Structure 1
């Protein structure tokens, strides 16, 4: 067995609590003459908040704001115990951020091409 402290057995896996929030749900099952403790470990999905903020500032404001909203939903849903909802919000935040980078990059590229074309037409 393990010691009497409240920390979960790690089974060789280290969790960085500063980076990821960990939730432990304890379930007890008992059979004839035995008691088995089952501990589920849920790690908060990456919320991509920094990625969403960078996209908002540097690439595409509207899509970046949507990504920030989805990113904040990851934390709130995870804190409420909705692990599947948190995963869906994380995936959605990542997709909106990628869309913002692609759209912002295309806008920058078109702006540069139009400036270069205008310089050649004037010169």
Structure 2
């Protein structure tokens, strides 16, 4: 925009009027008026311009509340320590995989890992309970056999030394 075509508005003046009055006020020891200071900071606006000051809009945060699938960590730990170690370890790995996949946003992978953790935990629990039951039955049979063997023994006292010469 060339300066030859520009004509100032009637309240705009030559642009130096407010600056000169502020400089004169400071030189003569008078306090500057607030409007003079404001005029130094802000350029004059034409009278027909509407200025609307609004607060910036807050950012919109959209959060998807996803449900983290059950990881069966406690069951996997119990199976590892008390039932069947190999399947318990696999169940613990799958249980950890549920948390990792859910943290990365892989809902489908977390669901599958949860199902695998449950499956391995239940199979390990079944094997562990079955082995405990078989062990208990074998122990009962062993104790019964020992009791029967002790009852059938001849327990009459025998002299240790019959003839000492």
1:87-119 deviation digits (Å, cap 9, x = unpaired) = 000011011111111100000111111111112
Structure with more contact order per residue of length (Cα contacts < 8 Å, sep ≥ 6): 1
Question: How far did 1:7 drift?
Answer: 7.9
1:76 alignment partner, one of 92, 100, 105: 100
1:16-52 deviation digits (Å, cap 9, x = unpaired) = xxxxxxxx3xxxxxxxxxxxxxxx4311111111111
**Equivalent in the alignment of 2:139:** 115
**Equivalent in the alignment of 1:94:** 118
**Equivalent in the alignment of 1:43:** 67
Q: Please identify the structure whose Cα radius of gyration is greater.
A: 2
- TM-score normalised to structure 2 length: 0.50
Counterpart Cα distance in 2 of 1:114 and 1:55: 22
Question: How far did 1:121 drift?
Answer: 2.1
Q: What is the alpha-carbon root mean square deviation over aligned residues?
A: 1.9
Q: Which runs of 5+ in 1 are unaligned?
A: 9-23, 25-39
More strand by share: 1
**Match of 2:105, SS?**
coil
Structure 1 residue ranges, 4+ long, deviating more than 3 angstroms after superposition: 4-8
